[in-house]
Amino acid sequence: MRVLLVFAHPEPQSLSASLRDVAVQELEAAGHEVRVSDLYAMRWKSQVDRADFPALAPNERLQPVAASKAAFATHTLTDDVRAEIEKLLWADALILQFPLWWFAMPAILKGWVDRVFAFGFAYGVGEHSDKRWGDRYGEGTLAGKRAMLIVTAGGWEEHYGARGVNGPIDDLLFPINHGILYYPGYDVLPPFVIYSTDRFDEARFEAAGQQLRVRMRTFETAALIPYRRQNGGDYHIPSMELRADLGATDLSGFALHLRRAAD
């Protein structure tokens, strides 16, 4: 398997970097080929702006969606973005690794998504009709590939539990897992999350490393998050609402979009 790990932490001696090295070593030991995009080390440009679209005339209004579509179609995306797209096409699997900052990914990684997930590549793919609503949510350019998150969080595991004040971790990560990874087609694995990072010591690092090694060894075979297919009949088209007879009546929000055995 070919794996791309996109890493977002500014400090080479961080806990995150140590965990990244564990993941890479374990994957390579299992015979996988790994490439790392270390965004801070690459001095990745995170903001979308005119410089991303050299073909845009100086007095032309910048419409990011239209500009992305035109640049992807005419092969005029910038070299840094094209290089990342090549890596995504090369890889069978993608890992996004980051510390949880303000309940989200660091800006540099969000900027990687904003710039690399171009129109025609990660969105705006496929036909829209009364039967299909594009190739997305499990279909699309990156379908058939696997993806997962490796996340460190300062808060306790209980803080992110079902009744925790921070909100459940699966809800917080839903926009990334479902909205960023599943959307362009990836099969998404449950995330690997390390909590209470400010209390880390050698013993906890050893335990976390062991758990991470297991996750890397089972990357190819582990069960996926059972998201629903949007074109599989579960949703009305074009409203894209889940059919009223699916999902438990007491469910709402993100949980509705997980397939249940009963459906």
Query: Is 172 a residue that touches ligand FAD (CB under 6 A)?
Result: no
- Residues with Cβ within 8 Å of residue 206, at least 6 apart in sequence: none
CB atoms within 10 A of CB 30: 14
Query: Is 202 a residue that touches ligand FAD (CB under 6 A)?
Result: yes
Q: What are phi and psi of 119, to 5 degrees?
A: -65, 130
Nearer residue to ligand FAD within complex by CB, 21 or 60: 21
User: DSSP readout, 140-198?
Assistant: STTTT-EEEEEEE-SS-TGGGSTT-TT--HHHHHHHHIIIIIITTT-EEPPPEEE--GG
- CA distances, 191 to each of 96, 177, 221 (Å): 10, 8, 14
Q: How far is the CB of 140 from ligand FAD (least distance, A)?
A: 30
Nearer residue to ligand FAD within complex by CB, 170 or 187: 170
Query: Is 101 a residue that touches ligand FAD (CB under 6 A)?
Result: yes
- Residues with Cβ within 8 Å of residue 45, at least 6 apart in sequence: 51, 80, 111, 115
List binders of ligand FAD among 7-26 (CB under 6 A): 9, 11, 14-16, 18
Distance CA 146, CA 189 (A): 7
Nearer residue to ligand FAD within complex by CB, 9 or 146: 9
Helical segments of the chain, H only: 15-29, 64-73, 79-90, 107-116, 169-176, 202-217
Q: In this structure, are residues 146 and 219 in contact, taking their beta carbons and an 8 Å threshold?
A: yes
Nearer residue to ligand FAD within complex by CB, 91 or 169: 169
Query: Is 196 a residue that touches ligand FAD (CB under 6 A)?
Result: no
Q: How far is the CB of 211 from ligand FAD (least distance, A)?
A: 14
Query: Is 100 a residue that touches ligand FAD (CB under 6 A)?
Result: yes
Q: How far is the CB of 112 from ligand FAD (least distance, A)?
A: 17
Query: Is 105 a residue that touches ligand FAD (CB under 6 A)?
Result: no
Q: How far is the CB of 225 from ligand FAD (least distance, A)?
A: 21
List binders of ligand FAD among 36-95 (CB under 6 A): none
Distance CA 62, CA 56 (A): 8
List binders of ligand FAD among 126-155 (CB under 6 A): 152-155
Query: Is 165 a residue that touches ligand FAD (CB under 6 A)?
Result: no
Helix, strand, or coil (residue 178): helix
Query: Is 175 a residue that touches ligand FAD (CB under 6 A)?
Result: no
Binding site for ligand FAD (CB under 6 A): 9, 11, 14-16, 18, 99-103, 152-155, 197-198, 200-202, 205
